Amino acid sequence: MADIVKTVKNEMTFEKILAAAMHTPGVKINREKFLRKELIRYCSEDIIAEAIKNNPAKAGISKELVNKISKQVINYEATKVTTLSVAASIPGGAAAFGAAAADITSYFAFILRTVQELAYLYGFEQFNLNEDDVDSETMNYLLIFMGVMFGVQGATGVLKKLADVLAKNIAKKLAQKSLTKGVVYPIVKKVALSVGIRMTKQIFADGVASAVPILGGALSGGLTFAMFKPGCMKLRKNLMSYNLCDPEYYKDSIDADYTAETEVDEEHIEYQ
């Protein structure tokens, strides 16, 4: 057991697990393709194009519809990650902790997927996420979203500020200055520390569960589901409260960069 503890602490760090998750095939979500796929059943092509160009709220898409779609997305991703967790844990045996590390990597890959999907539905821009390299700004943004999911103190306030900046349509360079390093970096460090501790505990819990074939698979899947869905729903609850996803906000606000040509008449929205 002492060797396992040492291995987890030295080789299965949060940074390494997250880096491995980012290299997982399918972890990157293309914002345009995702929004089109999710909105096509409910909205006209003109409205979808406007949502992609700006964001769903600016396109006049109601919060109710976005909330409905986001819940479906969370349920879908939760089912997938839980199914994979059960399958990975069924063999059991001596390699249980290695399997648990692979399981937690998969878990964070799905966290990254869901963060992107929820962010795009609620008005955020495309993340600069690729499987070869992730810049520090993108990493910080992702960690703030994850901080909200895991209840890290301070993360909610920072994410709201980011959303407010985007809602006001402030130029990206000014948006970056609006959140100084003194604000972002302390929160990012707290998130990495907090989530890293949770991750280590999960690896042990998952590994112990996985050591028992068949039954361990069910236990492992249950642990994954219990961690995944509540965090996603917590993030969703925060995102749905922002001006960034409120069509009424854009009607009432005066935005120099948002011209009449880009506004959408609610009567043109087609719901099936």
Determine the average pLDDT of the residues in 213-230.
53
Residue indicated by tokens 């970056």: 176
Among 21-25, 37-41, 108-112, 197-201, the range scoring the smallest mean pLDDT is 197-201
pLDDT at 239: 97
Q: How far apart are CA 64 and CA 200, in angstroms?
A: 37
Q: Which residue has the higher pLDDT, 1 or 35?
A: 35
For the chain, what is the largest distance between any 2 Cα atoms, rounded to a whole number of angstroms?
Answer: 65
Which pLDDT belongs to residue 3?
Answer: 54
Whether residue 66 contacts residue 240, with contact meaning beta carbons closer than 8 Å, is answered with yes
Spatial distance between the Cα atoms of 208 and 215, rounded to a whole number of angstroms: 11
Calpha distance 149→229 (Å, rounded): 10
Which 3 state secondary structure label does DSSP give 129?
Answer: strand
Mean pLDDT for all residues in the chain: 75
Q: Quick check: 151 pLDDT over 50?
A: yes
- Secondary structure of residue 153 in the 3-state scheme: coil
Q: How confident is the model at residue 85 (pLDDT cuts 50, 70, 90)?
A: low
> What pTM was computed for the model?
0.78
Domain borders along the chain are 2-250
Name which residue leads in pLDDT, 132 or 264: 132
pLDDT of residue 89 exceeding 90, the answer is no
